[in-house]
Amino acid sequence: MRPLMDQNFYETLEVPQDATLQSIERAYRIARATYQPTSAATYSVFSEEENTEILRRVEEAYAVLSQARLRREYDARLRREQLGDRPRPPREPAPPPAPSPPAARAPSAPPFTQVEFDLHEPVEPEDEVYDGPVLRRIRMSRGVELEEISVLTKVSELYLQFIEANRYDDLPAPVYLKGFLRVFAQCLKLDPRQVTESYMQRYHQSGRRSS
């Protein structure tokens, strides 16, 4: 078996790439039961930290493969990676280009600026409501990239994007989401308890399952 981080999501759940949703759900339940700290199957085989990392990877795999749209996007990425690994036939060297007269220099275009949020809006929410867009605004105002937070916290960058976009349907179970929110808040030097309680309140108001 390849190392955990070298496996794709199908390998993590031990299902084929054409597996049905029912097969994926069954494999997910088996994996969760197998790698619980109290499981006899992994007792003394993996450390608590290793079990936690495996369970995090299992949750991440299931979150993607159980959603039709996310699974299509993931499958497309796998195909691109597989094509990129295939050896390409050697190309013959191209002939040197013929000299061309110097072209007239075109005027430079004005820089493109995309306004992500209102710069005059306060960074800290006055109503103490921390939802996804508020967290994103705070992060950007402090010059922190999602990739940096992902590396520091070991939380998938995909989940951090879902948090900032309030994509509640794509987020993991509340017990995992609360942990993600706490470390996210710590990286932004915010009160973890306040951020977690505020975000989870909106999460539950959206009709999602309770913890």
**Per-residue pLDDT tens digits for 157-171:** 898 999 999 999 888
12 located within any domain: yes
CB within 8 A of 137, min separation 6: which ones? Answer: 117, 121, 123
d(CA 148, CA 127): 28
What value does the mean pLDDT of the chain take? Answer: 78
Q: Which amino acid is at 137?
A: R
Domain boundary residue, one of 52, 84, 116: 84
Q: How many domains does the chain have?
A: 2
- Determine contact, residues 71/8, Cβ cutoff 8 Å: no
Task: Show which of 84, 105, 121 is a domain's final residue.
Answer: 84
Whole-model pTM: value is: 0.45
How would DSSP label each residue in 9-67? HHHHHT--TT--HHHHHHHHHHHHHHTSTT-TTTTTTS-HHHHHHHHHHHHHHHHHHTS
Structural domain for 68, as ranges: 4-84
Does residue 187 lie within any of the structural domains?
A: yes
Please give the structure tokens belonging to residue 211.
Answer: 């913890």
User: Is a pLDDT exceeding 60 seen at residue 101?
Assistant: no
Task: Examine residue 69 and state whether it is found in any structural domain, yes or no.
Answer: yes
Quick: pLDDT tens for 4-16: 667 899 999 999 9
Last residue of a domain, one of 49, 84, 119: 84
**Which has the closest alpha carbon to 132: 175, 174, 185?**
185
